[in-house]
């Protein structure tokens, strides 16, 4: 199986898992149950989890994955983003949808979805990332919402979720061009708030940046586990439970690893309280005169 075939296989699985997520997001359902069911669906398919399933509700835009004992229950009027990542031998497909349970925010959902489709229609070799950002931002603004200016899509690499090139959600002067063969995740976010996300107090997602000398045995054990099982892909704190460590030991180990720079934390990102954020995302492969969407 060559590189493109692995991307295509990851994309098919990711699309199925995303649509299962659409079905599972219902009032009264626990976010933890949804995340665990979707992650099991990925591993049962024979693929790997590229990052913890994100279930970000209302003003939370990204990086919310449930804790091991999370009690978040989906509400009747919640706007829920389900963000899924699948990899086959390190080749990643990243895709997301927004579920509006009240059906009162369909304009917001449509803004991010249409921005995604418009960007995909323009994506091909030679197009600059700034041009795509302009298309995304214009589409969302014309729908009456704010594009989230400090969140971006991203180039995908093998076992690397953010491989350097960013796809903005607003017009920029970035003239770097898309190149044939690139795998790119395009993910517009539309908001009823400020259109700027900030880091929250909760962090459940981490990523290994470097294997470094550490003093604590719990930190050392976590680092060895992460390097072996997750490599350079993001992982959830809850994944470490059941590996012979207590919650206290896990927290102490993670704290040391973040402080030494071994791990990068990914706090929950949110717009202003009371606002709503929608997200839509597909992964594409750039071609000479168009692109191939692998997560339809």
Single pTM value for the model: 0.96
pLDDT score at 1: 75
- Residues annotated as catalytic are 83, 94, 154, 162, 187, 281
Domain that holds residue 130: 3-197+271-293
Relative orientation angle of helices 3-24 and 31-44, to the nearest 10 degrees: 150
Calpha distance 142→119 (Å, rounded): 15
User: In a structure prediction context, what are the per-residue pLDDT tens digits for the chain, which is 296 residues long?
Assistant: 799 999 999 999 999 999 999 999 999 999 999 999 999 999 999 999 999 999 999 999 999 999 999 999 999 999 999 999 999 999 999 999 999 999 999 999 999 999 999 999 999 999 999 999 999 999 999 999 999 999 999 999 999 999 989 999 999 999 999 999 999 999 999 999 999 999 999 999 999 999 999 999 999 999 999 999 999 999 999 999 989 999 999 999 999 999 999 999 999 999 999 999 999 999 999 999 999 999 99
Enumerate the β-bridge partners of residue 92.
87
Burial class for 191, CB neighbours closer than 10 Å (0-12, 13-18, 19+)? buried
Cβ neighbour number for residue 122 with a 10 Å cutoff: 15
Are 18 and 153 members of one domain?
A: yes
167 in the Ramachandran plot: left (φ > 0), alpha (ψ -120 to 50) or beta? beta
Q: What is the CATH number of the domain that holds 16?
A: 3.90.230.10
Q: What is the CATH number of the domain that holds 231?
A: 1.10.10.10
Q: Give the total number of structural domains in the chain.
A: 2
Are 178 and 229 members of one domain?
A: no
C-alpha pair distances (Å), 182 with each of 117, 179, 203, 227, 286? 18, 6, 30, 26, 5
- For 68, the token pair is 């091991």
Are 246 and 187 members of one domain?
A: no
Are 144 and 285 members of one domain?
A: yes
Are 173 and 235 members of one domain?
A: no
Are 23 and 128 members of one domain?
A: yes
Are 99 and 180 members of one domain?
A: yes
Are 72 and 159 members of one domain?
A: yes
Are 89 and 115 members of one domain?
A: yes
Are 86 and 229 members of one domain?
A: no
Are 178 and 283 members of one domain?
A: yes
Are 184 and 46 members of one domain?
A: yes
């Amino acid at each position: 199986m060559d590189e493109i075939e692995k991307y295509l296989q990851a994309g098919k699985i990711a699309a199925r898992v995303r649509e299962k997520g659409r079905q599972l997001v219902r009032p009264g359902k626990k976010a933890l149950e949804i995340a665990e069911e979707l992650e099991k669906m990925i591993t049962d398919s024979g693929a790997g989890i590229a990052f913890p399933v994100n279930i970000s509700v209302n003003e939370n835009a990204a990086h919310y994955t449930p804790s091991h004992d999370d009690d978040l229950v989906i509400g009747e009027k919640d706007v829920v983003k389900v963000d899924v990542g699948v990899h086959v031998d390190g080749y990643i497909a990243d895709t997301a949808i927004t579920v509006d349970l009240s059906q009162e925010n369909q304009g917001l959902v449509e803004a991010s979805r249409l921005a995604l489709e418009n960007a995909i229609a323009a994506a091909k070799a030679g197009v600059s990332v700034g041009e795509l950002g302009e298309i995304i931002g214009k589409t969302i603004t014309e729908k009456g919402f704010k594009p989230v200016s400090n969140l971006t899509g991203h180039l995908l690499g093998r076992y690397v979720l953010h491989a350097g090139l960013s796809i903005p959600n607003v017009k920029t002067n970035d003239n770097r061009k898309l190149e044939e063969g690139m795998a790119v995740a395009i993910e517009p976010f539309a908001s009823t708030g400020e259109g700027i996300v900030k880091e929250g107090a909760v962090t459940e997602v981490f990523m290994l940046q470097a294997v470094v000398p550490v003093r604590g045995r719990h930190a050392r054990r976590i680092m060895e586990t992460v390097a072996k099982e997750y490599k350079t892909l993001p992982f959830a704190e809850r994944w470490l439970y059941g590996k012979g460590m207590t919650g206290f030991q896990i927290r102490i180990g993670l704290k040391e690893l973040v402080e030494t720079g071994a791990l990068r934390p990914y706090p929950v990102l949110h717009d202003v309280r009371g606002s709503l954020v929608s997200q839509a995302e597909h992964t594409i492969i750039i071609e000479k005169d168009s692109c191939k969407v692998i997560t339809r």
